[in-house]
Amino acid sequence: MRYANYEASRRAASKWLMRMSRLRKSLRDEWQARRTYRPGCGRLHPVRVLKAAPDDAIPLITNVRDEAGQLPSFLEHYRGLGVRRFLVVDDRSGDGTRELLLDQPDVDLYSSELRYRDAGLGTLWHYDLAHRYGIDRWYVLVDADEYLVYDGMARHGLSDLAAQLEARKLRRLLAPMIDLYPSVPLSQAVMQPAQMPWEVADHFDASGYSMAARPYGPLIEGGGMTRVFGDTLRQKFPLLYWDRRTSHSLTIHFPLPYGHSPYEPLGALLHFKCFSDLRARAIDAVVDNQHASGAMAYRRYFLEASANPDLTLMSADSVRYEGPAQLRSLGLIGSVFSNSC
């Protein structure tokens, strides 16, 4: 993997000390999490629950708020990977999101008396849904602006991917968040509901990423949103095996137990926030005040977009996105499939 500082970070800390530190922190955070995460903690109310999906299908868990424009492409993408049931919590959308979801043949829709922040930034909902639909199984866990890709996805669905992870004795897929952005100023980047987001936001940073070892797992930084807005925590575990010990502690970026989190990225999350509506969505997020640290990240988006009407994320490191094989060739992800295409 071509992540600057990773090897230096690994050498700087004794492997044995890191392992012991990780274990102590994991046990302490697991004990604290048991006081918070219990079945029913999300206070979910079913709006519409469909009949059972195929037993071998991997469900997808997400929460949404005003994502009507993004959802058609999101659903199409994950259906193409083999998702047959979407478990969605709607956090009081007002743009037609709920109506759109109710019109889908494979969406179980929930509401909650908790708002996003009170639900531990959605983690209580995720825990509740996993325990409703069964533990000791694989789940996809992503936001509506995150599209999982991996080398070989043209021939291998999520069930194949999970099987390969199990063969490697892995319970999670580490995925860097690859921020995609348009080649034109953001104010000109209008995405239509019928489009896939990479048809508009079609560039990303080909270099400038770093990975560091932490007791709670790998920490990846870099990409367009880091470079322009200072965003951190550019990794997630979008495919994970949920057992009785699984929950979250710090954020959704670091699931418990920490010892189950691998350090080799075998997939990527294409992350799409950079469109013409960035400033308007930032205002809504700041007013709603449901995000971490008083929606500080969205305040930065608003200030940058307001100060520069021609804001662009293009730089000397920008390249056009061509697919997951390109990410592998750049050293940003590996592959669990041989002879992938």
Does residue 323 sit in helix, strand or coil? coil
Cis peptide before 257 (omega within 30 of 0): yes
Give the count of beta carbons closer than 10 Å to the beta carbon of residue 3: 20
Per-residue pLDDT of the chain (341 residues; tens, 9 = 90+): 566 666 666 565 556 556 666 677 777 888 778 878 888 999 999 999 998 766 778 999 999 999 999 999 999 999 999 999 999 999 999 999 999 999 999 999 999 999 999 999 999 999 999 999 999 999 999 999 999 999 999 999 999 999 999 999 999 999 999 999 999 999 999 998 889 999 999 999 999 999 998 888 899 999 999 999 999 889 999 999 999 999 987 578 999 998 899 999 999 999 999 999 999 999 999 999 999 888 999 999 999 999 999 999 999 999 999 999 999 999 999 999 976 55
Give exposure, 265-289, as e/b (b: 16+ Cβ within 10 Å): bbbbbbbbbbbbbbbebbbbbbebe
- Evaluate whether 269 touches 78 at the Cβ level (below 8 Å): no
Cα separations in angstroms, 81 against 72, 153, 278, 316: 15, 7, 28, 33
Which amino acid appears at position 324 of this protein? P
CA gap 125, 103 in Å, rounded? 22
Write out the two tokens for 97.
């999101």
- Record the pTM: 0.92
Write out the two tokens for 306.
């307001």
Listed in sequence order, the DSSP H helices in the chain are 6-12, 15-34, 71-80, 97-102, 123-133, 158-167, 224-229, 278-288, 292-307, 324-329
Closest C-alpha among 300, 239, 298, 295 to residue 267: 239
pLDDT for the residue 338: 78
CA gap 156, 81 in Å, rounded? 8
The pairing of strands 86-90 and 235-242 is unpaired
